[in-house]
């Protein structure tokens, strides 16, 4: 029909057209080495999907949260006892970093339109008593941090005539005589007095026994009171008596949780955490007030000590010391936490000094520490 020479001359033009219209080819088994390369590349692709930053946020964090909540539920249902290994892993968690992030987040100013919702949710979750606040209008507080450290209305707390009163609102973890170097943080769990306060540089005593070096009168003994401030409590704390602060020591330690449950699990918890120790004298001799930091406590602020800086970057074993001479009156504002934490009182008093309350009781600012002191004051 067509000459062969003409057909050959058209091939260069038609060949590309036929390439586009190639018929479907049946499956041909590829060599083994090509299959292995394909498997390796798909495996690497799967790994990259689970190991990048997006996967950590969208997959690992939700998965880990679900596993953790489930484990907590199982542990609570079978009355599980926490092992030492679990406690070590808990101590390794970077709570200082997360607490700094939380502090920055809590300090951010919120739009007025959402303040009622945010603070109202917080009030319901932690049973906050707004009737005691100086300002009950939630839109007044610009940030969560400002709401945490809200002031009390005038007359909300009665300051007892007792010689020594509660410095804050909270739950008593432990109270009573501390007549040895090992002091109970909760029943059956102790911490070291020397590790907690540090080297005795404020006293002129030459006694080699640390406990005795603190006492000005050997007939007296030390007493302690540990009060835990929950997130819903009033976060400011006051001077518990008339006393003079002469020395401050700041330990830049960990920021583990100090709630009663953790205090029962970790011996020496208060010697590990960040704390500001104020040492001085009162009517009976030695007196100390210690503000202990905790998880999500962005900072501890002391009104008469602007040089104090807590939860800052650096090594955890830093110790900062300052010689002071500040006199406080009973009930005077002393400082504040930017979240719930713990106040520890360690003071010298006669052996018959007995506390009015016991472990587990709720106390408020200005409540008398001892009935004996009330009778003496009258």
Domain positions in the chain are 84-148, 170-377
Section 25-53 average pLDDT:
53
Residues 6+ apart with CB under 8 A from 215: 205, 221, 222, 285, 286, 348
* Residue 328 pLDDT exceeds 90: yes
Per-residue tokens: 145: 């941090």
| Active-site annotation holder among 145, 238, 257, 288 | 238
| Active-site annotation holder among 169, 245, 250, 305 | 169
Residues 6+ apart with CB under 8 A from 180: 211
Section 210-221 average pLDDT:
91
- Give pTM, 2 decimals: 0.76
pLDDT in tens, 273-285: 889 999 999 999 9
Number of residues that make up the chain: 378
DSSP state of 339: S
Per-residue tokens: 262: 């953790």
Question: Among 106-120, 217-231, 272-286, 363-377, where is mean pLDDT lowest?
Answer: 363-377
Q: What pLDDT band is residue 377 in, cutting at 50, 70 and 90?
A: very low
Section 178-196 average pLDDT:
82
Per-residue tokens: 362: 């709720």
Higher-pLDDT residue of 69 and 181 is 181
pLDDT in tens, 63-98: 766 676 666 656 555 555 566 676 777 777 777 787
| Active-site annotation holder among 245, 288, 299, 341 | 341
**Does the annotation mark 352 as catalytic?**
no
Section 345-361 average pLDDT:
90
Note the Cα 91 to chain centre separation in Å.
12
Higher-pLDDT residue of 318 and 82 is 318
Please answer whether residues 289 and 274 qualify as being in contact, where contact means their C-beta atoms are separated by less than 8 angstroms.
Answer: no
**Does the annotation mark 238 as catalytic?**
yes
């Amino acid at each position: 029909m067509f000459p062969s020479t003409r057909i050959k001359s058209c091939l260069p033009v038609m060949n590309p057209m036929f390439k586009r219209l190639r018929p479907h080819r049946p499956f041909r088994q590829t060599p083994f080495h090509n299959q292995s390369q394909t498997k390796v590349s798909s495996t690497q692709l799967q790994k990259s999907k689970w190991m990048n930053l997006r996967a950590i946020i969208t997959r690992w964090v939700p998965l880990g949260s679900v596993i953790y909540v489930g484990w907590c539920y199982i542990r609570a249902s079978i009355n599980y006892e926490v092992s030492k290994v679990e406690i070590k892993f808990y101590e390794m968690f970077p709570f200082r970093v997360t607490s700094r992030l939380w502090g920055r987040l809590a300090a951010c100013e919120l739009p007025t339109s959402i303040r009622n919702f945010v603070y109202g949710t917080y009030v319901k979750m932690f049973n906050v008593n707004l009737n005691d606040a100086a300002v009950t209008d939630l839109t007044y507080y610009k940030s969560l941090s400002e709401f945490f450290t809200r002031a009390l209305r005038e007359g909300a707390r009665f300051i007892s005539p007792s010689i020594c009163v509660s410095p804050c609102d909270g739950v008593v973890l432990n109270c009573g005589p501390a007549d040895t170097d090992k002091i109970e943080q909760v029943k059956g769990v102790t911490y070291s007095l020397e590790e907690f306060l540090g080297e005795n540089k404020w006293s002129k005593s030459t006694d080699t026994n640390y406990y005795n070096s603190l006492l000005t009168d050997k007939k007296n003994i030390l007493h302690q009171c540990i009060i835990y401030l929950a997130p819903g409590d009033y976060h400011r704390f006051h001077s518990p008596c008339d006393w003079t602060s002469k020395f401050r020591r700041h330990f830049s330690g960990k920021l583990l949780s100090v709630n009663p449950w953790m205090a029962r699990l970790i011996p020496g918890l208060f010697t590990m955490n960040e704390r500001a120790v104020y040492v001085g004298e009162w009517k009976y001799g030695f007196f100390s007030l210690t503000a202990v930091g905790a998880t999500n406590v962005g900072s501890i602020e002391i009104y008469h000590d602007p040089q104090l800086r807590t939860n800052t970057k650096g090594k955890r074993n830093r110790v900062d010391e300052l010689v002071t001479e500040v006199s406080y009156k009973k009930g005077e504002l002393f400082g504040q936490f930017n979240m719930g934490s713990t106040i520890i009182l360690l003071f010298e008093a006669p052996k018959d000094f007995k506390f009015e309350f016991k472990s587990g009781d709720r106390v408020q600012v200005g409540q008398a520490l001892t009935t004996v002191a009330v009778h003496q004051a009258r």
